[in-house]
A and B are shown apart, each in its own frame.
Chain A
Amino acid sequence: MSSSIPNNSSNSGQKRKRSSSDIAKQAKDSKETVDKNKICPYLDTINRTWLDFDFEHSCSITLQSGPHIYACLVCGKFFLGRGPQTPAHIHSVDENGHNVFVHLTKGTFHCLPDNYEIKDASLKDISAALHPKFTTQEIRQIDQQRSLSRDLFGKQYLPGFVGLNNLNKTDYINATVQALAHVRPLRDFFLKFGHPQNFDSSTKMILNNKKQVKIDPSTFSPLAQCFGDLVRKMWSDKRFKSNIDPHMIIQAVSVASKKKFHIGKQAEAGEFMAWLLHHLHVGIGGSSKKPGSSIVHDIFQGKVEVTTLKKNKKPIASVFDQKNPLDSIATVENDPTLVTEETISNTHFLQLTLDIPEKPLFKDEEGGLVIPQEPLVNVLNKFNGISFHDALNMQRRYRLKKLPNYLILHLARFKKNGFSMEKNPTIVAFPKSLDLGRYVMESEKEASKREKKKNIPTVEEMTSMSVSWMILFLNISFSHAQMILF
């Protein structure tokens, strides 16, 4: 009975192409197929507890991965399909009662071997577990969400705070992804620009810097797509299980990094963070040369001015040209053949690397090392724009020009010493809220703005006002409160 349905529908499709005469019959046909689609006799065979869409989407028989992988909704296995002679088709014939399949990329449901599409509202939960979708409304309210969700096994979980499986020393990937999935604009971006199959072509988005960028999820790199998938799964409240296997993203990371970051090998999370941000930026259509060309740069990119002092050997000719040798001695104290060369460059950064002071050499009475503590403010002094720091035969001074909306601080704890890795265990005490006002230099733009508006007092001027001045100020403020407020 049911095997005749696909024939009917395909015939009508062909007819539609050939002639437009019997539209009425076609309409009747298609209506019939829709009606028949609704009553698939196998829907009650679906075994939701066996379903797990986190694994890599590849055929369990041929090991191929690709766009045509189907999951058997009865046993949960993945097969290449769905035409005759494909593993999915063979599976549906071989196994008794394994007839309902879902297309893993498109999310459409099919009945095999009869080969017709099933459209049924009761399958919505499977679609939601396969590709979680978020409406603009849901995204806006996601941070107000307090209620716990329940998975298929009755376990409660808080969307956004789900565990990620450790696949063998991949905890650094898990921790980095967890941290990035809680950066609001980045998360909202990936929640919004969902799975390419469910998304109508390219959309435009205006970044904070007024730049307009085109966004087309189907052109995202595999890494960016996997990252988006993972973020959506993490924030979904319709999960079948309350933890996630990050197989897909780890595969994508391994491929994109040419096995630099790979299962079974620990790596530095700070280094991985920088790598991942860059590849996400490029993967969603950002340019590697133009700063600020994707949302990743929009969120995390800041600007630092680096002044480098380098001692160079003076060209011999210029030594002889010097008319007054005393001058050169005054500039370079130790060696008259050296000149100090100063270069200033502006660099964009996605994260600031902070150096931690060396751990003490001496042990305490019990023979253990003293673990020193250092406040974050001291560590941040690298960027105060005053002091110079030693680098390989040069000195550098850092001055923050522009801070991003989201600032990533990377404490450089690990150091290669010969063949072994050393870790600096210093505890850096950091505050919940941080004021970086004194590290940021006023840019020329703002300074000129201040020049134009002559009456803008700085904080120093404001605080240096005497008490009576303050009283006067308050009096006037009160009497003109309306003027100030409106």
Chain B
Amino acid sequence: MDDNNQPLPKSVLLKNCRNFISFTLPQLLSHQYDLVANITHESPAEVGKEGKRDPLEEGSYKCHVQHKATGQWYEIQDLHVKETMPQLIGLSESYVLIYEKKGLA
């Protein structure tokens, strides 16, 4: 409210704005990341309950990756490659995630 009563000189204000756009904004955006790959580990439901078998031995790994040109996500489990929905990836039992900084391309 004080600012309203005593407006800054135009030149200072302008400088502030320019600095904000050229310096603070890019810095803010520089920590934005996008998902590129997701490795999940799934073990059969009964393994966790019994607690007897080794979840690492019984489980299997999958990898989710995105096709850049179409934006389609693919789920790859060894030889099986199939299209998948991005909503399902967010709910998977993820184990290793790789994120890419925005605006690198």
Contact = CB atoms under 8 A, between A and B. Distances in A.
A161 B76 contact: yes
Interface in A405-452: 405-411, 413-414, 420-423, 425, 427-437, 439-440, 446
B90 A432 contact: yes
A423 B37 CA distance: 22
Given A427-B91, A462-B24, A161 B96 contact: no
Nearest to A462: B20
B78 A164 contact: yes
Given A166-B78, A405-B101, A172 B61 contact: yes
Given A166-B79, A171-B77, A174-B78, A269 B24 contact: no
A12 interface: no
A182 interface: yes
A10 interface: no
Interface of B: 1, 3-4, 7, 10, 12-21, 23-24, 27-28, 30-39, 41, 43, 48-49, 51-52, 54-57, 59-63, 65-70, 74, 76-81, 86, 90-91, 93-102, 104-105
Interface stretch (A33-41, A139-147, A383-391): A139-147
A369 B24 CA distance: 47
Interface of A: 143-146, 157-158, 160-166, 169, 171-172, 174-176, 178-180, 182-184, 243, 266-270, 273, 351, 368-369, 403-411, 413-414, 420-423, 425, 427-437, 439-440, 446, 453, 455-459, 462, 465-466, 468-469, 472-473, 476-477, 480, 483-484
Contact of B49 (A179, A268, A369): A369
Contact of A405 (B17, B86, B97, B100): B100
Given A163-B80, A435-B31, A476-B10, A425 B48 contact: yes
Contact of A266 (B3, B57, B86): B57
Given A175-B63, A178-B63, A269-B96, A161 B69 contact: no
11 contacts: A143-B105, A161-B76, A164-B79, A407-B101, A409-B98, A413-B93, A423-B41, A433-B102, A435-B31, A459-B28, A462-B24
Contacts of B101: 403-407
A408 B97 contact: yes
Contact of B14 (A165, A267, A414, A476): A476
B17 A476 contact: yes
Contacts of A436: 31-33
Contacts, number: 229
Contacts of A163: 76, 78-81
Q: Which 9 pairs show the lowest CB-CB distances between chains A and B?
A: A163-B79, A179-B37, A423-B55, A175-B61, A437-B31, A143-B68, A166-B78, A178-B63, A175-B63
A420 B58 CA distance: 13
A145 B72 CA distance: 13
B65 A178 contact: yes
Contacts of A268: 56
Contacts of A455: 12, 15-16, 19
A483 B10 CA distance: 14
Given A143-B69, A406-B98, A406-B99, A423 B48 contact: yes
Contact of A409 (B17, B91, B99): B99
B76 A430 contact: no
B79 A165 contact: yes
Contact of B78 (A171, A421, A425): A171
A422 B54 CA distance: 7
A184 B100 CA distance: 9
Given A480-B14, A484-B17, A431 B76 contact: no
A270 B95 contact: yes
B96 A183 contact: no
Contacts of A266: 54, 56-57, 59
A395 B62 CA distance: 35
Contact of B95 (A165, A410, A459, A468): A410
A428 B91 CA distance: 8
A466 B56 contact: no
A157 B74 CA distance: 12
Contacts of B43: 423, 425
B90 to A, nearest CB: 6
Given A165-B78, A184-B105, A269 B61 contact: yes
